[in-house]
Amino acid sequence: MIDKLIEGKLLTVLVGSVFRLVEILVRTVHVTVRGIRLLVQEVVTSRIDTWLSSFGKRMVANRTRVEQSSIVLIERDGEYTGDPKYIAEEILRRGAPLTITWVLRDRSIGPFPSEFHFVKYGTAEYFRSVAGAKVVVQNAHCLQESGVVKGSSQQWVQTWHDPLGLKRLDSAGRDRRSYLRLRELDNTQTDVLLTNSTFEDDVFTETYWPDVPKSRIGHPRNDVLSDTSQETATRMRKKALDRLDIADTGQRFLLYGPTRGGDPRATPLSGIDVNAVRAALSERFGGTWEILIRTHNSDKAQSDVLLAGLPAYCHNASFHPDVQELLVLADAGMTDGAGWICDYLLTAKPAFLFSTHERGTSRDLEKLPLPLATSNHALLRNIEQFDHEVHGREIGQFLEVSGSVDDGHAASRVVDRLEELMSR
């Protein structure tokens, strides 16, 4: 202190020390108050808000008038895809006097038909729109996850998104209480479950919807796969390539779409010799081949990173919203067990399975009418030995045993069914 006194800094140092103590005290109080606020919000107010929200949702459901001509379509990612898309297109094609409301998500990119009304998932307007709809169609557990209260005169229709029950339903068999509750709600709240086969009937009855009436009238999304006209193929090819920003040079395409990987360190093409596969495809089927890679939805956000460094003939198709358009575009398909391959069977185009590890499936991969390889050598051999006639025959037998009813006219049957529900 004597030194500071002599240097003429004593009072400055003392005052500075006092203010530093005050700053420490203020910071301590700030951190304490912030911690208390977060604790109160998480433990107390959030629970009260949840209860109040449930009350509000019930009030909206009870007070909103149901419009007989109103239908709400909910696609799990908010994209213009899946059965909801093709149901909507059939309604628009007919010019039916219905009000269509489409539910958007933050990641929805469209484009959407101008005839739609739009609401954002989870907003107050979303709950009002759902409450006022005579029919609500979803392809996941969206209604249950958002806590919508169902009106007594409403009809809720479930289409689900996994074809022919290839994969075990997400979390089927889990004992997680919240998910079990969603499953129970979906089972009790759904009025009609759309299926495309006796196999789907069995899978759905054994898992999520044991008590829900099944309408085995097909999946509208698959109608386009049964359309063999050159006009449709040309139109869909141009649409997909324009959106993917790929120049059309008359090349052929292999669609590779894996399911969710078991190893988080692996990339979608781990273990696959893409150069050898491309050469084998050209040798067996002719033409110049390029590869469209559609990662699993859980990997989509980081797909550009996962696929970095691949040859220029490999294209990231993960952000293309409608996989059915890619199925039409593709000249061949390959997966390790993703559900889209069962839809692809309807095209009878070449398809291959490549899997080096077990997947959770409702069907063993070996039971699918497709050549299964567990090594590059076996995959190349399967491509080289592919027989169109045998492939077509085995697919036909498989679909017959599965009781498939997809025939290119599902959308018409489904909209007929929806119009029937709306007249009740």
Whether residue 177 sits in one domain with residue 248: no
pLDDT in tens, 8-32: 666 676 667 878 888 888 888 888 8
What is the share, in percent, of the chain residues with pLDDT greater than 70?
Answer: 90
Per-residue pLDDT averaged across 140-150, rounded?
Answer: 96
Let me know if residue 362 belongs to a domain: yes
Q: Assess whether pLDDT exceeds 90 at residue 180.
A: no
Whether residue 149 sits in one domain with residue 79: yes
Q: Assess whether pLDDT exceeds 70 at residue 153.
A: yes
Whether residue 374 sits in one domain with residue 344: yes
Burial class (CB in 10 A: 0-12, 13-18, 19+), 176: exposed
Whether residue 305 sits in one domain with residue 165: no
Structure confidence at residue 163 (pLDDT): 75
Order of strands, edge to edge, in the sheet holding 372-373?
A: 314-316, 289-293, 252-256, 332-335, 351-354, 372-373
pLDDT in tens, 195-245: 999 999 999 999 889 999 999 999 999 999 999 999 999 999 999 999 999
Whether residue 233 sits in one domain with residue 159: no
Q: Which residues make beta-bridge pairs with 397?
A: none
Q: Assess whether pLDDT exceeds 60 at residue 172.
A: no
CA 378 to CA 384: how far, in whole Å?
10
Structure confidence at residue 187 (pLDDT): 96
Let me know if residue 22 belongs to a domain: no
Check if the beta carbon of residue 149 is closer than 8 Å to that of residue 59.
Answer: no
Whether residue 245 sits in one domain with residue 160: no
Q: Assess whether pLDDT exceeds 50 at residue 361.
A: no
CA 150 to CA 54: how far, in whole Å?
12
Full DSSP string of 255-324: EE-----S-TTS-TTTT--HHHHHHHHHHHH-S-EEEEE---GGGGGGHHHHTTT--TTEEE-TT-S-HH
Q: Assess whether pLDDT exceeds 50 at residue 359.
A: no
Per-residue pLDDT averaged across 161-177, rounded?
Answer: 61
363 or 24, greater pLDDT: 24
Q: Indicate if the alpha-carbon torsion angle 87, 92, 96, 102 is positive or negative.
A: positive
CA 206 to CA 391: how far, in whole Å?
30
Q: Assess whether pLDDT exceeds 80 at residue 5.
A: no
CA 238 to CA 248: how far, in whole Å?
8
pLDDT in tens, 378-422: 999 999 999 999 999 999 999 999 999 999 999 999 999 999 999
Whether residue 208 sits in one domain with residue 246: no
Q: Assess whether pLDDT exceeds 70 at residue 7.
A: no
Whether residue 133 sits in one domain with residue 273: no
pTM of the model: 0.87
Q: What is the mean pLDDT of the chain?
A: 90
Whether residue 245 sits in one domain with residue 390: yes
Structure confidence at residue 29 (pLDDT): 85
Q: Which domain holds residue 155?
A: 60-222+410-422
Total structural domains within the chain:
2
Number of other CB atoms surrounding residue 342 within 10 Å: 28
CA 203 to CA 196: how far, in whole Å?
12
What single letter denotes the amino acid at residue 371?
Answer: P
Of the chain, the end-to-end C-alpha distance in Å amounts to 92
Check if the beta carbon of residue 352 is closer than 8 Å to that of residue 332.
Answer: yes
Let me know if residue 17 belongs to a domain: no
Structure confidence at residue 225 (pLDDT): 97
Whether residue 215 sits in one domain with residue 233: no
CA 184 to CA 187: how far, in whole Å?
5
Whether residue 242 sits in one domain with residue 188: no
Let me know if residue 352 belongs to a domain: yes
CATH number at residue 331: 3.40.50.12580
Whether residue 311 sits in one domain with residue 297: yes
Q: Assess whether pLDDT exceeds 90 at residue 2.
A: no
Let me know if residue 154 belongs to a domain: yes
Let me know if residue 380 belongs to a domain: yes
CA 335 to CA 372: how far, in whole Å?
10
Structure confidence at residue 88 (pLDDT): 98
Lookup result for tokens 């050598």: 377
